[in-house]
């Protein structure tokens, strides 16, 4: 029967001994692999006890620990910068790049509000019009839609140009100097806004504003001002159009609801579209500093503990002559899992403490503390 060798006390790393080979040709990784194997074996009790693992088990754990470290690091970087990364080029690795914060994604996010507010956005608005008919107050815009090759359900009216001419066109130039009592007179003659240029008194802007408000309020109260009501694409306009209005076009703007959805989906081939394609590659082990490597060593040990636990725990009892024994697989497994969780938690805390937010908060605190400390310096009276 075969004899499967166990850890003999030393090892010699060579490329190809790890499952994935991510770091096999990294000179520092190659140099550390055997040291880590020895460290783990001795931490697991060798040479007092046998360790039923081989060098490749330790190398596997070492590779996994390095990859976990990189995953945690880059996941943190992605979380920290995703708003600045989304939509960026996904073809080139970001490993050695510094990411400057930008507002590109925030502005993209804001486009939706622009669409709804009619100030930009990412969905087109279209213009349409209906012809008014004298004495007809109600107009079915679904009918208009079908006449124009649209589905009424897909049309959302965004704006109706129902307003009266702007008040600024309705009163003559205040520099005309004819006084408030003549408001509307020049307009009635068709030359509102023209200035007879007889008043050279400098008038403040609030004077103009007050006049415009006055005109608009007059229109609303003294006249039946223009308005409309739109419910379920049924347009009712006020006042009831007169016969003279027949044929006049009432313009409105609308958007197509399906475009609102379609326009929100952007083709992102070769671009960063989610956290899975942010272009981070496996790190170069040789660039990981001693703080990171120390973490990796500890994580390697935790993984090795789990491995050894699985080996020793495959069978509940191990037969020995005339009896059987139970090995410490359960303890090893519990210890390994606990170590692993603690290490990951420690690393995440460490990363979080170096986030932009945390660093800014720290600077703020330092500044506050420094200022507070300065207040304890006696304020002497200068004697010249």
Partner 1 sequence: MALFGEARDISMFRHVNRELMGNVISQQVVYYKPDIQETVVNMYGEASKEKYWNEPVLLNSIIERSDQSYPDSEIGVDFQWGITFKFLRDDLLNKLEEFNSNSVYGANLVPEVGDIIMWKNGYYEVDGTNANQYFVGKNPDYDYKDDNGDNPLGNMDLDQFGYSVSIICNTHYVPADKLAISPYKERF
Residues making contact with partner 1 (CB under 8 A):
1-4, 6, 49-50, 52, 311, 314-315, 318-323, 325, 327
Query: Which of 321, 384 has the CB closer to partner 1?
Result: 321
**Cβ nearer to partner 1, comparing 2 with 291:** 2
Cα dist from 11 to 17, 75, 309, 311, whole Å: 11, 33, 21, 20
Shortest gap between Cβ of 308 and partner 1 (angstroms)?
11
Closest approach of Cβ 10 to partner 1, in Å? 16
- State the nearest-atom distance from the C-beta of 4 to partner 1, in Å: 4
Helix axes 55-85, 104-117, angle to 10 degrees: 40
CA torsion, ordered 36, 41, 42, 45, to nearest 10 deg: 160
Cross-strand pairs, 160: 252
Closer by beta carbon to partner 1, 41 or else 160: 41
Question: Is 270:91 a contact under the CB 8 Å cutoff?
Answer: yes
H or E segment and range at residue 344: helix 329-353
Least distance from partner 1 to the Cβ atom of residue 40, Å: 18
Number of H helices, E strands in the chain: 10, 8
Which residue number, 325 or 377, has a Cβ lying nearer to partner 1?
325
Nearer to partner 1, 50 or 354 (CB): 50
Q: Where on the phi/psi map is residue 3: left (φ > 0), alpha (ψ -120 to 50), or beta?
A: beta
Taking the least distance from each CB to partner 1, the nearer of 248 and 328 is 328
Which of 206, 193, 199, 192 minimizes the C-alpha distance to 176? 199
> Which residue number, 264 or 317, has a Cβ lying nearer to partner 1?
317
For 382, the token pair is 């200068």
Min dist. Cβ of residue 2 to partner 1 (A): 5
Q: Whole-number minimum distance, CB 317 to partner 1, in Å?
A: 10
| Residue 55 beta carbon to partner 1: minimum distance, rounded to whole angstroms | 16
CA angle in degrees (0–180, nearest 5) for 295-301-306: 130
Q: How far is CA 83 from CA 60, 102, 105, 107, 358, in A?
A: 35, 8, 6, 10, 17
Place of tokens 């899975």: 276
In angstroms, give the least distance from the CB of 322 to partner 1. 4
Residue 225 vs 328, nearer CB to partner 1:
328
């Amino acid at each position: 029967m075969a004899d499967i060798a166990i850890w003999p006390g030393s090892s010699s790393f060579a490329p190809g001994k790890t499952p994935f080979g991510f770091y096999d040709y990294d000179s520092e990784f190659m140099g550390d692999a055997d040291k880590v194997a020895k460290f783990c074996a001795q931490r697991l009790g060798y040479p007092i006890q046998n360790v039923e693992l081989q060098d490749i088990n330790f190398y596997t754990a070492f590779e996994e620990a390095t990859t976990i470290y990189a995953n945690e690091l880059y996941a943190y970087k992605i979380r920290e910068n995703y708003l600045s990364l989304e939509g960026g080029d996904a073809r080139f690795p970001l490993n050695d790049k510094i990411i400057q914060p930008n507002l590109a994604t925030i502005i993209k996010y804001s486009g939706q509000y622009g669409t709804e507010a009619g100030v930009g956005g990412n969905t087109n608005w279209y213009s349409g019009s209906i012809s008014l008919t004298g004495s007809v107050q109600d107009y079915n815009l679904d009918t208009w839609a079908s006449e124009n090759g649209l589905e009424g359900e897909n049309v959302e009216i965004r704006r109706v140009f129902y307003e009266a001419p702007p008040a600024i066109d309705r009163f003559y130039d205040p520099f005309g100097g004819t006084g408030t009592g003549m408001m509307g007179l020049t307009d009635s003659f068709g030359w509102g806004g023209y200035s007879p240029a007889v008043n050279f008194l400098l008038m403040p802007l609030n004077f103009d504003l007050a006049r415009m408000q006055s005109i608009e309020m007059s229109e609303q109260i003294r006249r039946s001002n223009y308005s409309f009501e739109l419910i379920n694409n049924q347009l009712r306009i006020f006042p009831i159009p007169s016969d003279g209005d027949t044929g006049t076009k009432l313009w409105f703007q609308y958007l197509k609801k399906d475009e609102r959805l379609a326009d929100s989906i952007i083709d992102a081939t070769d671009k960063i579209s989610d956290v899975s394609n942010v272009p981070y590659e496996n790190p170069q082990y040789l660039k990981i500093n001693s703080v990171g490597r120390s973490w990796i060593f500890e994580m390697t040990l935790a993984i090795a503990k789990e491995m050894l636990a699985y080996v020793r725990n495959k069978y509940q009892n191990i037969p020995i002559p005339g009896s059987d024994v139970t090995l410490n697989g359960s303890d090893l497994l519990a210890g390994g899992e606990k170590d692993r969780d603690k290490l990951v938690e420690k690393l995440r805390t460490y990363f979080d403490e170096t986030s932009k937010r945390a660093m800014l908060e720290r600077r703020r605190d330092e500044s506050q503390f420094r200022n507070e400390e300065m207040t304890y310096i006696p304020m002497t009276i200068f004697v010249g």
